[in-house]
Amino acid sequence: MDEDCLFVNVFSPSAATEASKLPVWVFIQGGGYAQNSNANYNGTTVIQESGHGIVFVTLNYRVGALGFLSSETVRENGDLNVGLLDQRMALRWVQEHISKFGGDPDHVVIHGCSAGAGSVTYHLAAYGGRDDDLFTGAIAQSPFWPTQRRVSDTEWQFNRFVKDAGCAKAPDALACLRSIDIKKLQAANIESPFPGTTDNPLTRWYFLPVIDDDLIVDRLYKLFDRGQFIKVPVMVGDDTDEGSYFAFNASTKAEMAQFFKNYYPNLKKHQLETINLVYKKSIALPYHAEYFSAASAAYGDATFTCPGNHIASTIAKHVSPQEIWNYRVNIQDLGNLAQGIGVPHTMENPAIFGPGSIGGGPSSFDTYNSAIVPVIMGYWLSFVRSLDPNPHRYIDAPRWHSWGSGAGQRMRLETNDTAMERVPRESKKKCEFWHHLAPAMEV
């Protein structure tokens, strides 16, 4: 871990010049605001498949305590949410310099997956929706909406970090933190139970963006409800089994309830009981206990799928039903199915960037799932080039219709069976349930 990490990688056609004015694709990686893997994303394939018609950019940003340590002390003597500010600095760099690589600063599409997609939504809603002309379109791939605390609610976290870093007795805790070796900071960059809970959350869900009344003026559900976001075309969607990577392998209702309590400590007993009623146990999946599938479905809906659907519905309301496109990835990989994780979080990355371009992913994209690769990549490239997934889509891909006026239609991305579908009524009801719980969950 190193605080000196704000670098960008630029992939550009070799023949591009300042006069080329090519569309720019800026990718913000995920990692739960706790880790980054910038070098794993290679833009060579997407540039080739675009006919050498785009410029591709990736960026690093500070994560963990270095990116999201919060307290009034930090606010008074520095900046909050610096991981997000790093991203905005990179976007400003793109505005100033991308023309030197053949890119058009007036045609920049930001795209993120997971926490990167969450970051995209923060940039859409930054400063209450103030448009700083940093981008003209956005793709939120499995947007991650965890708890969003206020600064006053994170003082315990700051104090614990100061103590673990050996700065508790220092007259100036922040000066002490700034002076010590990065290895000591890294050793203190670990999780602990949130107040009111008994168990640790996942490490990557510990240091998170906070409401700072500046960059982030309120919680994302409220900002999108009120239309406080930049009005640009957007693609957003999720995978069928978003929660399967993260859910606790629960054997009982009590374990499932405790799993949610660890992440959302303000949930009351009756609310936890209602979650158990809405998400009932089903047939046990391979290698998992009988309540795992319920915990997985509930967490996936609460943290990824329903935020994505909320983004779609509010953009349709406040911008245009024709400028928002939604999708569901349903690619069947035999290895994932055998492990009992279904169609997990961001499994489509190899199809977006090309197999072998991201340093991992199911091998089936080279074999029996290879047919979905040009379909997905074509939609993404078309949106980057034209702010619409259709004009430059793969020749055999169906037309992707927009979300619509309350209809809730989306593209099902599935090998040899890609087609439009409506969001099921039961799914809409579950998302209404999570929207209702959002204040208690601090989302």
Going across the sheet that includes 103-113, the strands are 8-11, 55-59, 22-28, 103-113, 137-141, 234-239, 324-329, 409-413, 419-422
Q: How many residues in total does the chain contain?
A: 443
| Nearest Cα residue to 349 out of 112, 1, 53, 96 | 112
Domain range for residue 411?
8-146+208-249+300-440
Residue 193: strand, helix, or coil: coil
Q: Say if 337 falls within a structural domain.
A: yes
Distance CA 124, CA 233 (A): 11
Q: Is residue 169 part of a domain?
A: no
Counting runs of H as helices and runs of E as strands, what totals does the chain give?
A: 17, 9
Distances (CA, A) of 290 to 88, 242, 340: 44, 18, 12
Asked if 65 and 153 touch (Cβ cutoff 8 Å), the reply is no
For residue 1, what pLDDT is reported? 54
- Provide the CATH number for the domain around residue 391: 3.40.50.1820
What pLDDT does residue 331 have?
A: 98
**How many other CB atoms are found less than 10 A from the CB of residue 273?**
12
pLDDT tens-digit series, residues 121-166:
999 999 999 999 999 999 999 999 999 999 999 999 999 989 998 9
Domain for residue 161, yes or no? Answer: no
Query: pLDDT value at position 191?
Result: 75
Kind and range of the H or E run holding 324: strand 324-329
Mention every residue, 6+ apart, whose C-beta is less than 8 A from residue 398. Answer: 411, 418, 419, 420
CA 328 to chain centre: 15
192 is catalytic: no
Q: Are 59 and 28 in contact (CB under 8 A)?
A: yes
Query: Tokens for 7?
Result: 């670098």
Q: Which of 193, 159, 189, 190 is nearest to 265 (CA)?
A: 193
Count up the domains in the chain and report the number.
1
Residue 159 lies in a domain: no
Reported in sequence order, the residue ranges of 6-54 that DSSP labels E, i.e. its strands, are 8-11, 22-28
* pLDDT score for 24: 99
Do the beta carbons of residue 214 and residue 70 sit within 8 Å?
A: no
Amino acid identity for residue 178 in this structure: R
DSSP reduced 3-state for 27: strand
pLDDT in tens, 49-78: 999 999 999 999 999 999 999 999 999 999
Helix (H, G, I), strand (E, B) or coil at 35: coil
Query: Alpha helix (H) ranges present in 165-268?
Result: 173-179, 182-188, 220-225, 253-263
Q: What is the pLDDT of residue 37?
A: 62
Q: Please, are residues 69 and 37 in contact by the beta-carbon 8 Å criterion?
A: no
**45-58 core/surface letters (b: 16 or more CB in 10 A; e: else):** bbbebbebbbbbbb
35, 204 Cβ separation under 8 angstroms: yes
What's the confidence (pLDDT) of residue 203? 45
Residues 276 and 181: beta-carbon distance below 8 Å: no
Residue type present at position 68: F
Task: Give the active site residue among 114, 296, 313, 402.
Answer: 114
Classify residue 140: in a domain, yes or no.
yes
Q: Is residue 173 part of a domain?
A: no
| Beta-bridge partner residues of 420 | 411
Q: What are phi and psi of 295, to 5 degrees?
A: -65, -40
Distance CA 150, CA 218 (A): 9
Q: Is residue 118 part of a domain?
A: yes
Residue 397 DSSP symbol: S
Residue 18 lies in a domain: yes
Please, are residues 233 and 137 in contact by the beta-carbon 8 Å criterion?
yes
The C-alpha atoms of residue 9 and residue 415 are separated, in whole angstroms, by: 31
Q: Are 323 and 315 in contact (CB under 8 A)?
A: yes
Residues in the chain with pLDDT values less than 50: 203
